[in-house]
Structures are given as C-alpha cells and as structure tokens.
C-alpha cells in the first residue's frame, strides 16, 4: 500500500512503498510541472565482479556492469528502446558507476507509455552473440578515449595506491583486454544475479498519479521476490595506503595531482549520511574555496581554480580526495596537513563553521528543485538505508567537535597517498 510521507520543514512529500516483489518505489509529486522524470536503478556496478550465484562463487571480468548497461536497450523483435523513447520526445540515458547502474528518461508527453517501456527493457534481457561482438568494438573505443584522459589516469592511479584488492581500484568500463571475456552468457548471468526487483529502486518525479505508477510497475515487472547475489570485494584493506605515490607522463598543459586518504569501510543507514556531511564540512572548512588555506595556496601560485575535494563511499570502502593542477603537489599536501593539525589543536573558527553549515543546508534545499538530483539521491539513500528527505536534519546535527574528530582521525601524513600526471618532456 502506498504511503504518503510529508516533510513540512522543507516543503516536500513523497509516496513510497516496497512492492510485494521487493521493488522500492518512490513518487515525488510536482503539481503543475509539464516535465516528469523516471529513474530505474539497480544496486549493481563496476565493482560487483565476484559474487555467489547460489551454485558457488564466480569471478567476472572488469567491465560487465557497464557492458550490460549498453546492451539492455536492445529489444527482441523491435527497434532499440533508446530510439523508441527518443521518437516519443523523451530524453533518455543511462550510466554505470562503481556501485550502481541507472536508466532514466524525462518527457512531457506519453509518460506512462515511456515508463512501461523503461521497465520492460530493463527487466527483460535480450542479447545475441552477434550484437555483443558489435558492442565490444564500440566499448573498446570508448575505453581507449577514457584511457587518454589525464583526470581519469590520475584518479585510478590514486585508487591503485590506496587499495590492494578492492575492485574500486579498476575502471568501471574495464579494459580493452578484460571485455574480450564478456559474452552473452556472462551478461545473462549477471542480469539474473542482480537485476531482481528487490535489488532495484524506481523513482518518479513530476505531476504523475502515484497509483498509476504503482500499477504499471506491478503489471510489467516480475512478481517474484528474490534476493540479489552475495558479493565479495576481497580481503579487508589495511588502514595505510598500499603505495604512497604513483606518477605518469601525458599530454597535459600543466601537471595535475590527486591526493587521497582511506576513511574506513562504507557506512549504512543514517550514519552514512552523517559521515558524508561531517567529512564534506571538514574538507570545506579545511581547504574549500572560502577557507584561509585555499586563499593562501592560491595567492602563492601553488594551486588554481581547478583545485577541489570530494568524499566517496562505495563498494565496501570510503575515501577522501583532493587535488588539481599544481607544480608542487607535495608542498600543497604538506600545507593541507599542517592546517588540519592547526584546526585540531586550536579549534574551528565558529563563524566559518556556521557559514559552511548554512551553505550546505542551502545547497541541499536547492537540490530538491532538480529532478535529476532528487532521483539520484533517493536511489542512493534507498540502497544505503536512510531517508534522503531528512538530510537537512542530519546537517544540523553535525557539530564542530564532529568535524575536529574527523580531521584528527584521518588527516594524518602516514595515511596520505599522491597520484600525479606530469608533462611529457620534449
């Protein structure tokens, strides 16, 4: 039975239900909007390569989840689903990340018909060996283009420094070599293992009837409730990085670097959301664009406006990163660690802490105006076990001591690894 939850504090509400087949369904009403969006996501991504089929553990090549995403638009006896959706005026796309694959569309007309098609092609795999071979060549070209990207190179260089075994260290799309081992049987096996309703989320945002959305989901999707395959990400990782530094030379206009620190295992529930906000606040106060450190580094030419930071939680692990263009990344990292030590010792500037919390609160409220943001964040929250619509309450619960505690625990020199991409010498 659909249930309505209202969040008067932020002026939002959502209809939601876990269907008998296990699908998590969310409908966010936006009365008066002409555009509506559907977002159909599976809790399966590039890092989910080793799993138990029920008949034993299997290891699959790097890149299967991404390959599967490409092939799911094929429909037996009909044109490609992407073409059909486009012909109806819908804007459709899909993506694969380390831990999620999602298929989505926006449309102003024929929404119910488009939703039915979306649910059908994602839940009904159809592959031929001929079509798989053709797609292999397309994906190989995509991989080669990404391999030539310096930002990608520096990022995966860092992850290989941080982690010894976790598959997060490998590109989501795999390599040209790894995708040679992907065939139709592997794709069917992985679809069967993970594309089960209990491992999926459907989010609809717009001026749509929740009961009709539910009816479509019940009619189209399988009615069985089966768990997804159990996954294995390898042995537990040690606290320190596997290697301290990685470097390569590429065609770049200026050297770039990315530094990172492991922040433990990935978290679930409300703890996951609070950790994300605590970490983001800590990094913003430490080295965000309004921080004293950022301004000092910028004025001294050690960084430029490409400098930024992030916090990631995926595939059983979490880690923070920061970096950008710099000719002296070691000095930047040293200054970051020194500033963290100062904040731990002397405490945070109360005014800066309040300003950053207000900025985070405002950013979250603005995010509710973006259909893309609402759909994605609801899906992530559903998979991680927390309520996205309570994010503002979690932000307010973060204290300055939480931030200092994060800095003290993780901003330590022995935990830091650096990846860099330098100019090719002529």
pLDDT in tens, 200-236: 999 999 999 999 999 999 999 999 999 999 999 998 8
Say yes or no: 83 and 222 in one domain.
Answer: yes
Q: How many CA atoms lie within 13 A of 276 on its CB side?
A: 23
Could you report the per-residue pLDDT of 17-66, keeping only the tens digit for each?
999 999 999 999 999 999 999 999 999 999 999 999 888 999 999 999 99
Position 236 in a domain: no
Say yes or no: 131 and 272 in one domain.
Answer: no
Candidates 6, 17, 69, 425; catalytic one? 69
Per the structure, the complete domain to which residue 254 belongs is given by: 245-423
Judged against a pLDDT cut of 90, whether residue 96 lies above it is answered with yes
CA dist 411 and 145 (Å) reads: 34
| CATH number for the domain harbouring residue 252 | 3.30.830.10
Say yes or no: 107 and 223 in one domain.
Answer: yes
Say yes or no: 187 and 61 in one domain.
Answer: yes
CA dist 278 and 281 (Å) reads: 5
Say yes or no: 272 and 417 in one domain.
Answer: yes
Position 369 in a domain: yes
* CB-based contact 197:225 (threshold 8 Å): yes
Judged against a pLDDT cut of 80, whether residue 259 lies above it is answered with yes
Place of tokens 């996954």: 231
The total domain count for the chain is 2
Long-range contacts of 374-378 (CB under 8 A, 24+ apart): 374/28, 374/203, 374/205, 375/37, 375/39, 375/104, 375/203, 375/205, 376/39, 376/102, 378/14, 378/26, 378/28, 378/39, 378/201, 378/203
Torsion sign, CA atoms 193, 197, 198, 201: positive
104: closest CA among 382, 375, 366? 375
Say yes or no: 380 and 418 in one domain.
Answer: yes
Domain end, chosen from 231, 257, 291, is at 231
Q: Is 69 an annotated catalytic residue?
A: yes
Read off the pTM: 0.94
* Region label for 314, one of left (φ > 0), alpha (ψ between -120 and 50) or beta (otherwise): beta
Confidence of residue 320 (pLDDT cuts 50, 70, 90): very high
Taking the mean position of all CA atoms in its chain, how far away is CA 174?
Answer: 17
3-class DSSP state for residue 43? Answer: coil
Token representation of residue 394: 């979690």
Strands 245-250 and 417-423: parallel
Phi, psi of 360 (to 5 degrees): -65, -40
Say yes or no: 204 and 349 in one domain.
Answer: no
Say yes or no: 224 and 259 in one domain.
Answer: no
Token representation of residue 399: 């204290």
Token representation of residue 175: 């390599």
Domain end, chosen from 176, 196, 231, is at 231
Say yes or no: 368 and 419 in one domain.
Answer: yes
Could you report the per-residue pLDDT of 118-141, keeping only the tens digit for each?
999 999 999 988 999 999 999 999
Question: What percent of the chain is predicted at pLDDT more than 90?
Answer: 86
Judged against a pLDDT cut of 70, whether residue 426 lies above it is answered with no
Position 119 in a domain: yes
* CB-based contact 157:248 (threshold 8 Å): yes
Judged against a pLDDT cut of 80, whether residue 425 lies above it is answered with no
State the average pLDDT over residues 91-113.
Answer: 97
Token representation of residue 357: 């919390």
3-class DSSP state for residue 417? Answer: strand
């Amino acid at each position: 039975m659909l249930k309505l939850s209202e969040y008067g504090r932020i002026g939002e509400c959502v209809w939601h239900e876990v269907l008998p087949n296990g699908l998590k369904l969310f409908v966010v009403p936006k009365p008066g909007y002409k555009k509506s969006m559907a977002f159909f996501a599976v809790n399966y991504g590039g890092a989910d390569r080793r799993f138990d089929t029920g008949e034993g553990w299997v290891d699959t090549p790097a890149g299967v989840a991404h390959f599967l995403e490409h092939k799911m638009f094929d429909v037996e006896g009909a044109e490609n689903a992407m073409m059909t959706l486009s012909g109806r005026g819908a804007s459709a796309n899909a993506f694969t990340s380390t831990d999620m694959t999602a298929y989505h569309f926006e449309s102003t007309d024929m929404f119910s018909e488009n939703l039915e098609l979306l649910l059908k092609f994602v839940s009904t795999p159809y592959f031929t060996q001929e079509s798989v071979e053709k797609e292999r060549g397309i994906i190989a070209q995509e991989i080669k283009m990404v391999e030539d990207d310096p930002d990608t190179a520096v990022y995966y260089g860092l992850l290989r420094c941080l982690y010894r075994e976790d598959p997060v260290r490998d590109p989501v799309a795999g390599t040209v070599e790894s995708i040679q081992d992907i065939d139709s049987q592997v794709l069917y096996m992985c679809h069967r293992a993970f594309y089960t309703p209990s491992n999926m989320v459907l989010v609809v945002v717009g001026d749509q009837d929740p009961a009709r959305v539910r009816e479509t989901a019940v009619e189209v999707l399988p009615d069985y409730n089966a768990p997804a395959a159990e996954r294995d990400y390898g042995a537990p990782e040690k606290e320190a990085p596997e290697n301290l530094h990685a470097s390569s030379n590429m065609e770049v206009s200026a050297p770039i670097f990315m530094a990172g620190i492991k922040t433990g295992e990935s978290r679930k529930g409300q703890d996951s959301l609070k950790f994300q906000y605590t970490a983001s606040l800590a990094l913003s106060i430490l080295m965000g664009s309004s921080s004293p450190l950022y301004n000092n580094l910028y004025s001294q030419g050690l960084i430029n406006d490409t400098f930024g930071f992030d916090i990631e939680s995926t595939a059983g692990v979490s880690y923070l990163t920061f970096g950008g263009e710099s000719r002296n990344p070691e000095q930047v990292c040293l200054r970051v660690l020194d500033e963290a030590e100062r904040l731990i010792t002397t405490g945070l500037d109360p005014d800066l802490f309040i300003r950053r919390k207000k900025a985070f609160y405002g950013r979250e409220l603005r995010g509710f105006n973006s259909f893309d943001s609402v759909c994605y964040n609801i899906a992530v929250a559903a998979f991680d076990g927390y309520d996205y619509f309570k994010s503002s309450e979690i932000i307010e619960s973060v204290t300055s001591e939480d931030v200092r505690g994060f800095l003290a625990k993780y901003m330590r020199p022995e935990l830091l690894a650096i990846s860099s991409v330098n100019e090719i010498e002529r």
